[in-house]
Amino acid sequence: MKRVLLLLLVALAAGTALLVATCNPASLIASRQGANDDLIAEKMATHIGVLAYLYGYPLVDMQRQMHNETHRVADGQQVLAPVNRMYRFPHLVTPETAGNFRAPNSDTLYFTAWFDISREPLIIHTPDTGGRYYTIAVTNQYSEVTHIGRRTTGTHEQYFALVSPLWQGELPRDVTPIPVATPIGWLLGRMLVQGEEDFSAARSLVEEIWLAGLSEFHPGQPPARPEPAPAAPLEPMTSLQFFALMNDALRQLPTRPGEDALMAQFDAIGVGPGTTFDAETLGAATRSGLLAAIEEGQAIVQAATARTIPDVNGWMISREIGRYGFDYMHRASVVKGGYGNLPEESLYPASLFDAEGRLLNGSSRYRLHFPAGQLPPVNGFWSLSVYNLDENFTLEPNPIRRYSIGDRTEGLLWNEDGSLTIHLQHQDPGPGVNWMPTPAGNFSAIMRLYEPSAEALDGDYRLPRIEMLAD
């Protein structure tokens, strides 16, 4: 009996020792602490990373587009010009020539350039357009816009200089400085074309717009044009390269007023201006969290581009493009849609639905009726275009090759009372109507009001509804 008890005590002692060994408090705490640390790292990287993705979207997208349009990244690419040189679109935009544009206009000739003023100012020459409408949107890395053109600077021949806040020096005489808050950015210009017979004149004026760095500037003498270098395409929006490019930009840019606390949050996950991001040295938990942030950030940006904003008579109008404050989601959604002008330069009322709230579709017929004296109030011009309801809002080919209709359209038919009716439909309605051809499927209608008047800007003027016609 004593032997049995002794063996039992030995067994119990061994079991107790094993239990103590496996449940050592220090070991258990260390294990739990490691799991907690990983949980915190992953979730913080995800939740702060989503905001970082929204914030950094314009910084990274601009680097992406700048690289892909200033380097030869593909055979036959449409837009190609070195940094600080102009690319001029040779045609009005059509379905065949739209390239990467999202919901492009066919009223103006486009011209574009990517600039880098980190070393010196960039001089812009503009010709005398004789009162003809033109504008150049100067967009910085945060997608904020300044305009050169008829509304802001007039139409006589001029020289402007894009100037970084860090540059110290003197500009040549008669060169107007245009302060730009960031060292790189984008120029997007538009030159009005009054019709087919006016195309050559408008094209000649665009050819007279040129760029030169300060050190190579000579009045009246456009500089030589270097050959763009070949390179692999840059597509960082869905990988950790996004945060590498964002981090690189933030480390070079001064912190903006009111964003110190936000930058500290970005630093906490390794993507802010006080850190150096390195995807190769990330812990597994942080890597997982940042990859999740990219996925969630993309979903938010896509949803933001597809949301409908409050409308008036079925027309949605954003009056906050180009000035975003702390609304980073809206800024990202505008950038994904292709940047934009300030409202004072142009308004873009858009409609997806008819007067009864049904999606616009080419299987139905519609009319847009402007009563006498109720045309869009503008100091420039107005037009209406329609687009496929796809991701890029593309133009649809049509038999009369009409991609906009507006106050400059030749042969407009007016009603006896001075009103104007535009018919929107896929099938040709025959003679005697103002026809705006539509796609066969769902489509969007977009008005353009260039140099809108005060009543358009403050909302006193309301566009009429798009009405479906009975068969």
Task: Say if residue 21's pLDDT is above 60.
Answer: no
Task: Say if residue 404's pLDDT is above 90.
Answer: yes
Task: Check: CB of residue 362 under 8 Å from CB of residue 334.
Answer: no
Pick 311 or 346 by higher pLDDT. Answer: 346
Strands 108-116, 145-149: pairing kind: unpaired
Q: How far apart are CA 243 and CA 55, in angstroms?
A: 11
Task: Check: CB of residue 45 under 8 Å from CB of residue 37.
Answer: no
pLDDT of residue 452: 97
Q: Does CATH place domain 87-216 in 3.40.640.10?
A: no
Comparing C-alpha atoms, which of 253, 102, 254, 248 is closest to residue 188?
102
Task: Check: CB of residue 203 under 8 Å from CB of residue 133.
Answer: no
Q: What pLDDT digit, counting tens, does each position of 133-156 carry?
A: 999 999 999 999 999 999 999 999
Q: What pLDDT digit, counting tens, does each position of 271-322 carry?
A: 999 999 999 999 999 999 999 999 999 999 999 887 777 778 889 888 888 8
DSSP states along 280-292: GG--HHHHHHHHH
DSSP states along 171-235: PPTTEEEEE-SSSEEEEEEEEE--SGGGHHHHHHHHHT-EEEEGGG-BTTBPPP-PPPPB-----
Q: How far apart are CA 438 and CA 354, in angstroms?
A: 14
DSSP states along 98-121: -TT-SS--SSEEEEEEEEE-SSS-
Task: Say if residue 6's pLDDT is above 80.
Answer: no
- The distance from CA 20 to its chain's CA centroid, rounded to whole angstroms, is 62
Q: How far apart are CA 452 and CA 439, in angstroms?
A: 28
Q: How far apart are CA 290 and CA 282, in angstroms?
A: 10
Q: Which of 17-21, 371-375, 390-394, 456-460 has the lowest mean pLDDT?
A: 17-21
List all residues 6 or more positions away from 365 whose beta carbon is below 8 Å from its beta carbon. 423, 424, 425, 427, 429, 468, 469, 471
Residue type, 385: S
The hierarchical CATH code for the domain 312-469 is 2.60.120.600
Q: How many CB atoms lie within 10 A of CB 116?
A: 17
Task: Say if residue 132's pLDDT is above 60.
Answer: yes
Q: How far apart are CA 306 and CA 313, in angstroms?
A: 19
- The tokens describing 340, both together, are 């934009």
pLDDT of residue 339: 81
**pLDDT exceeding 70 applies to what percent of the chain?**
92
Comparing C-alpha atoms, which of 176, 194, 182, 205 is closest to residue 255?
182
Q: How far apart are CA 414 and CA 394, in angstroms?
A: 29
- The tokens describing 131, both together, are 């009162």
Task: Check: CB of residue 376 under 8 Å from CB of residue 463.
Answer: yes
Burial class (CB in 10 A: 0-12, 13-18, 19+), 80: middle
Q: How many CB atoms lie within 10 A of CB 256?
A: 12
**pLDDT exceeding 90 applies to what percent of the chain?**
79
List all residues 6 or more positions away from 277 whose beta carbon is below 8 Å from its beta carbon. 243, 244, 246, 247, 248, 270, 271
CA distances from 104 to 123, 293, 356 (A): 27, 31, 27
Q: How many CB atoms lie within 10 A of CB 219?
A: 12
pLDDT of residue 309: 74
pLDDT of residue 287: 96
Comparing C-alpha atoms, which of 29, 1, 340 is closest to residue 190?
340
Q: What are the two backbone dihedrals, phi and then psi, of residue 13, each rounded to the nearest 5 degrees? A: -65, -40
Task: Say if residue 55's pLDDT is above 60.
Answer: yes
Q: Quick one: pLDDT band at residue 17, thresholds 50, 70, 90?
A: very low
DSSP states along 21-65: HHT-HHHHHHHHHHHHHHHHHHHHHHHHHHHHHHHHHHHHHHHHH
Strands 311-312, 184-192: pairing kind: unpaired
Domain residue ranges in the chain: 37-74+237-306, 87-216, 312-469
Q: What are the two backbone dihedrals, phi and then psi, of residue 311, each rounded to the nearest 5 degrees? A: -115, 165
Question: What count of Cα atoms within 13 Å lies in the side-chain half-sphere of residue 71?
Answer: 13
CA distances from 27 to 34, 38, 269, 406, 433 (A): 11, 17, 28, 77, 84
Task: Check: CB of residue 379 under 8 Å from CB of residue 398.
Answer: no
Largest interatomic CA distance in the chain: 122
The pTM is what? 0.89
Classify domain 37-74+237-306 by CATH architecture: Orthogonal Bundle (1.10)
CA distances from 450 to 179, 236, 253, 347 (A): 24, 34, 33, 7
